[in-house]
Structure 1
Amino acid sequence: MNDKATVPMSSVRYLLQAVENQGLDRKALLESLDIQEQDLIDAQSFPAYQYGMLYQKIMWLMQDESFGMLSGGKIPNGAFRMMCLSIIHARSLAHALYRCSDFYEICRGPTIKPVLIKKGRFALVTFAPIESMHDEVETILKPESKEQLRTTLSMWHHFFCWLIGRRLSLKAAYFTSERPDDVEYDKTLFQSEVKYNQHANALVFPASYLDMPIVQTEDSLRGFLKTAPYQLLVMVENDNSLKSRVMAILGKDFSREMPSADEVASGLNMSVSTLRRRLNEENTSYQQIKDESRKEAAITYMNVPRLSINDIAGLMGFDEPSAFFRSFKKWTGMTPGEYRKSEEYLKFDKGIRSS
């Protein structure tokens, strides 16, 4: 399991409290995923993939794919898949976002929808009531928690990144909630300026991204849905190092060609020589980061029993499964088949299947 990508314990506590508020058995839920209550008490952070499995189980139990997010109502299971299918063939990110908003209008359950607003050189994605509602967003929603807002904006941001196959660099993330104690986590998560006590919850980014094509296909969507919501929950390490910023640009989607060092340096507003020098000061390199990111992603996907080796090869960007076999053995010392017979995998698999 990928233990390096983590979420703060405040996110885990929020999710579990929301579960208890809905009348679910917290103890039974944790036991079904082989999560110990004591581990939650002692931990400073929580593995992102395990958090994803927890989130996935809760959404299934609640029959609500928007659980823990801003929606104003329940979104039935399967709706996210249908929304993705309705936008995957859009000609650009802007076109996809308009289709997404339209989908929310006809999807039974939610009372608010994401809305795209263009303002000169920048674009803004915020939330508004669906057309059948005549109230303001504030009167539709219950008082939001900072975790609900963080989860909502982060997951939508990462979804946009996945659609265009690259990191969508934000200008700012706006929150209606008050400034939290863990501001640095928000800055690291969004890799941008973060403002609180705003009039709306929104993602602000250069409008030039709106013209970018949707690079995903129905084939890549199938693998994406099998791992959801993992890729939407976390895309960066929980620190402010340059390595984390590079990993944020790389993201978690390896089905597309990874950017060159020059492209990453440009995205960080520095020369490639400066990038290499500063990474060297952190005892790493761009190539090491790429190798480490791909290895962690491969192990994460290998820990999903319903993903076949061919599925994983596609998610990792390999045209042939045999090429993935060779790379996986280079990274771990085991073939994919040997890994899935190992004690580490079997222990992990047992926890998943018991759910």
Structure 2
Amino acid sequence: MKSGITAQQRELIPAGFIEALLAQGERAGRERELLLGDAAFPFDPLRGCSATQTTSSAAFSRLALALFRVLDDEAGGSMPDAPTPVGTARLLAFSLLGSHNLGAALRRAIEFNRCCRLNRGQSAVNSLTIDEDLREATLSYYLEGSDRAQQRLLCGLAIWMRFCGWLIGQHIDVVSARCAAAAPANVRELRHFFPCPVAFGAADNAVVFSVRHLEAELLRSETDLSRYLREAPYCLVVAPKPSSLSITRRIRELLGDDFRCEMPSFEDLTGMLNMSARTLRRRLEREGTSYQRIKDNARRDLAIALLQRDGATVSEVAERVGFSDPSAFHRSFKKWTGESPGAFRA
């Protein structure tokens, strides 16, 4: 089930991400070549400009950090109230490391935001709530602003989930989200962060995930964090950095991305991982997931990637992700994403 895509190929940045940073820099008065020079992009003598065709994750991160310095705003203009001065995120991140678990870290982050980032006299809805019956946690954030501002705030919550996942060495699966805005005409940005169902027109912006993650200990040191912050723009915006500590990641690697053949059974998986069924169930439960959810998410992610390309029909996508019956694929895809395959592609 393994694919032939190398790790280096996976880290090459789609041109749209680079273009978005350069366009934002231009709007702030910084010429493209100057911004690329700030980020130490190599000069291409054949094209007479900086080389951006095959941008690495490290180069993308340098470019984003250079833009933040130009804007003096680490949020890149996404916060509707005020810029976030350069250095704020670093202070916040280091302040979390002493927390005894992720729940305590998130509550400390909420307090930091209230005391250190919000303008005096301004209020925000920023809370962490727990549903003990469903064993789900909800992280919410709302500030007065336009629909576009609310969509960006929701994307900011997704970025927080990626950072939190890195802190605890787990993948945090957002099972649903809601947005305090009408559904946008172009949902590509939200889809990038949220393959799960998103409800629009809500009273706030929120993400919902397993409460088990809140109980996880923070595994990172100050040295780890210093190293991570240098590549944070890529890991938080483009693709989260997989954790070698996560059993979810190990299973996803074993499954690969070709599901036309039957996936391994749970019993087969225990043998492949060289651990007992009891140990595997306990580790999956600790990460707030199950083998069935991991399989569903693997199929979902591949289906989304295939539907975003031109050429493949919905029936062909269904076959690629392991469904012999297209109608069963339609039902599953709508359950996973909140949309039918046809509506998702439109």
Say whether the fold is shared (TM-score over 0.5).
yes
Contact kept, 8 Å, 2:77 with 2:83, in 1: the verdict is: no
Distance 1:13 1:179, change over 3 A: same
CA shift for structure 1 position 150: 6.4
- SS of alignment partner, residue 85 of structure 2: coil
Partner residue of 2:129? Answer: 117
Letter in 1 for 2:35: L
Please tell me whether the aligned partners of residues 178 and 199 of structure 2 are also in contact (alpha carbons under 8 angstroms): yes
Q: CA deviation at 1:71?
A: 5.8
Q: Which residue of 79, 93, 101 corresponds with 2:88?
A: 79
Identify the residue that residue 344 of structure 1 maps to in structure 2.
Answer: none
Equivalence for 2:212: 208
Counterpart pick for 2:152 among 122, 128, 148: 148
The residue aligned with 1:18 is 24
Paired position in structure 2 for 1:29: 35
Structure-1 residue corresponding to 2:222:
218
**After TM superposition, what 4+ stretches of structure 1 lie above 6 angstroms from structure 2?**
35-40, 43-46, 265-268
TM-aligned CA deviation for residue 276 of structure 1: 4.7
CA–CA distance in structure 2, aligned partners of residues 44 and 192 of structure 1 = 31
TM-score calculated relative to the size of structure 2: 0.57
Q: What SS does the corresponding residue of 1:80 show, helix, strand or coil?
A: helix
Kept in 2: contact 1:164–1:212 (CA 8 A): yes
Deviations 1:175-204 (A, max 9, x none): 335245455x75464342234444432211
Is the CA contact 1:117–1:123 (under 8 Å) kept in the aligned structure 2? yes
Q: Does residue 252 in structure 1 map to residue 248 in structure 2?
A: no
Q: Do the aligned residues in 2 keep the contact of 1:124 with 1:205 (CA within 8 Å)?
A: yes
Change in CA separation of 1:257 and 1:143 when aligned onto 2, cut-off 3 Å: closer
Structure 2, unaligned runs of 5 or more: 1-6, 266-271, 274-346
Residues 104 and 261 from structure 1, CA distance in 2 versus in 1: closer, same or farther, beyond 3 angstroms?
closer
Contact preservation (8 Å) 1:92, 1:214: yes
Displacement of 1:98 in angstroms is 0.5
Taking a change above 3 Å as real, the CA distance of residues 103 and 145 of structure 1, as seen in their structure-2 partners, is: closer
Equivalent AA in structure 2 for residue 233 of structure 1: V
What do residues 110-131 of structure 1 show as CA deviations (whole Å, max 9, x unaligned)? 6657432223422221214xxx
Query: What corresponds to 1:297 in structure 2?
Result: none
The answer to whether the 8 Å contact 1:154/1:190 transfers is yes
- Once the 2 structures are TM-superposed, how far is the Cα of residue 252 of structure 1 from its aligned partner? 1.4
> Bigger CA drift: 199-208 or 156-165?
199-208
Q: CA shift at 1:215, angstroms?
A: 1.6
The answer to whether the 8 Å contact 2:25/2:70 transfers is no
Paired residue for 1:91? 100
1:127 aligns with 2:137: no
Alignment of 1:37-48 (within 5 A): 48=57
Aligned-residue offset at 1:9: 5.0
Provide the C-alpha distance between the structure 1 equivalents of 2:77 and 2:236, rounded to a whole number of angstroms.
13
Q: State how far apart, in whole Å, the 2-side matches of 1:7 and 1:181 are.
A: 21
Q: Secondary structure at the match of 1:166?
A: coil
Contact 2:73 2:83 in 1 (8 A): yes
Among 149, 158, 165, the alignment partner of 2:162 is 158
How is 1:47-86 mapped onto 2 (pairs within 5 angstroms)? 48-70=57-79, 72-86=81-95
Structure 2 match to 1:300: none
Contact 2:74–2:89 (CA<8 Å) still a contact in 1?
yes
> Which of 200, 218, 233 is the aligned partner of 2:237?
233
Runs of at least 5 residues in structure 1 that lack an aligned partner in the other structure: 129-136, 236-250, 278-284, 287-355
Cα separation, partners in 2 of 1:196 and 1:118, compared to 1, 3 Å:
same
Counterpart residue type for residue 158 of structure 1? R
Q: Match of 2:175?
A: 171
The change in CA–CA distance for 1:145 and 1:39 in structure 2 (over 3 A counts) is farther
